[in-house]
């Protein structure tokens, strides 16, 4: 039963309604784009899908990290993370158009391409639509199963206050994190690296793992900043919680930057034609300008700002950095994915703008619905009293 004093504020329901309207309108516009230019539709759709599925999966990774490490920072954001993971069935449904449009997205689905490129032909046992679909089903099965049990046990803990459910969630999160890492790694290879199947990188999957977790945390901080000014979160959330979230955000910014730069350094220092061709179109012309923008606004600015203790403790300032990171995640994904289709030619289609908004509206509507279904704080969690004591101690100080 919903505990009234910890119910989501009415603004969550209003956001759900508005997001659903926006999502429906832009989905119609995207459907028009499908009729006008089918190839561009699927290219833009894959780009948009990669952003929103990343927040869902990144939230699952952060949820399991919280169960493994504990701490007040995780308790106050747990319901936001759980709500985000419950959007995974929607993302499974939204993945179906990618399967149906694979011929317009992936070169390795074209028999003529396979016949004319020995490298592609050699990978045909792995890169074929049937095996690709089976693997995608396995990936989503892993993610949805983990999310299902973590959400179910969290609900049972609310109802019964039995500590066994906290132990179950911790026990599952260890092997679950390993499964998630493998699933994300292979999903990144299948869905994005195979856009240019002659090229490969052993660190590519870890870049997506770090970036999806970073997207999820930035989104969570934005949501928490919005909720912290309203009942009931203003009675629980303290500056020290935003400070902890800011420190984790800084760590993930550095982790993503480390993986991305390591891949570039290894490929560039090797200077092998079969490896550097992935970077050549992405560092020249307008693509090179976009790469510089990502370096400055995705790494340099957030890194410098998040070094400030006062900024991390100020929700209003921290959310500005979080929103900037979310925008830069879109830019980085566009820089990563789109040159596989356009190569040196820089091109932005109107569908590249419509698709993220359309999918995002549907995603946010489902997220808001899930968030409103449960109390915003798991009050029967063993850590609840200590977190509440931290808030009171901060107020008295």
Task: List CB contacts of 316: < 8 A, sequence separation 6 or more.
Answer: 225
CA dist list (Å): 135 to 104, 181, 189, 200, 383: 20, 14, 11, 19, 38
Q: Report, in angstroms and rounded to the nearest whole number, the Rg of the chain calculated over CA atoms.
A: 21
Nearest to 174 by CA among 317, 266, 67, 85: 67
Q: pLDDT category, 98, cuts 50, 70, 90?
A: very high
Query: What letters, b where the CB count within 10 A reaches 16 and e where it falls short, cover 160-185?
Result: eeeeebbebbeebbeebbebbeebbb
Q: Are 41 and 33 in contact, with CB atoms under 8 Å apart? A: yes
pLDDT tens by residue, 340-376: 999 999 999 999 999 999 999 999 999 999 999 998 8
| Domain count along the chain | 1
- Least confident interval from 18-27, 104-113, 147-156: 104-113
Which residue shows structure tokens 């993503």? 256
- Least confident interval from 13-27, 28-42, 334-348, 377-391: 377-391
Q: Are 77 and 378 in contact, with CB atoms under 8 Å apart? A: no
Mean pLDDT across the chain? 92
Cβ atoms within 10 Å, residue 344? 12
- What per-residue confidence (pLDDT) applies to 45? 98
- Least confident interval from 225-234, 286-295, 367-376: 225-234
- What per-residue confidence (pLDDT) applies to 234? 80
Section 183-211 average pLDDT: 95
**Structural domain boundaries, residue 251:** 4-396
Percent of the chain whose predicted confidence (pLDDT) is above 70: 95
Section 320-325 average pLDDT: 97
| 176 pLDDT more than 60 | yes
Tokens representing residue 312 in the block: 């991390």
- What per-residue confidence (pLDDT) applies to 116? 78
Q: pLDDT category, 389, cuts 50, 70, 90?
A: low
Section 165-188 average pLDDT: 96
């Amino acid at each position: 039963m919903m505990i009234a004093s910890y119910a989501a504020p009415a603004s969550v329901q209003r956001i759900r309604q508005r997001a659903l309207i926006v999502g429906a309108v832009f989905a119609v516009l995207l459907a028009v784009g499908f009729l006008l230019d089918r190839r561009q539709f699927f290219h833009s759709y894959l780009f948009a899908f990669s952003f929103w599925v990343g927040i869902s999966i990144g939230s699952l990774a952060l949820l399991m990290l919280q169960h493994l490490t504990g701490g007040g920072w995780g308790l106050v954001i747990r319901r936001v993370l759980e709500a985000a993971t419950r959007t995974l069935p929607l993302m499974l449904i939204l993945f179906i158009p990618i399967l149906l449009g694979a011929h317009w997205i992936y070169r390795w689905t074209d028999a003529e391409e396979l016949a004319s490129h020995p490298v592609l032909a050699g990978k045909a046992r792995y890169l074929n639509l049937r095996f690709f679909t089976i693997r995608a089903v396995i990936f989503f099965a892993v993610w949805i199963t983990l999310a299902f049990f973590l959400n179910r046990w969290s609900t049972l803990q609310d109802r019964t206050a039995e500590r066994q459910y906290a132990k179950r969630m911790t026990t599952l999160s260890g092997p679950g994190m390993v499964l998630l890492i493998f699933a994300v790694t292979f999903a990144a290879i299948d869905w994005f690296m195979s856009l240019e199947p002659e090229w490969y990188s052993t660190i590519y999957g870890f870049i997506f793992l770090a970036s999806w977790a970073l997207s999820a945390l930035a989104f969570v901080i934005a949501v928490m900043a919005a909720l912290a000014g309203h009942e009931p979160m203003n009675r629980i959330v303290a500056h020290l919680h935003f400070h902890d979230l800011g420190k984790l955000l800084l760590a993930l910014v550095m982790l993503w930057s480390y993986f991305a730069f390591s891949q570039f350094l290894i490929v560039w220092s090797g200077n092998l034609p079969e490896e550097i061709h992935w970077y050549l179109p992405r560092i020249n012309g307008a693509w090179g300008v976009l790469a510089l923008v990502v370096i400055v606004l995705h790494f340099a600015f957030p890194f410098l700002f998040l070094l400030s203790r006062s900024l991390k403790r100020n929700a209003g300032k921290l959310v500005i950095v979080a929103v900037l990171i979310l925008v830069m995640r879109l830019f980085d994904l566009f820089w990563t994915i789109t040159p596989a289709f356009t190569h040196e030619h820089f091109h932005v289609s109107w569908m590249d703008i419509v698709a993220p908004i359309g999918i995002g509206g549907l995603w946010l509507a489902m997220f808001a619905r899930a968030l409103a279904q449960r109390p915003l704080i798991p009050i029967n969690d063993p850590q609840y009293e200590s977190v509440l004591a931290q808030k009171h101690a901060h107020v008295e100080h």
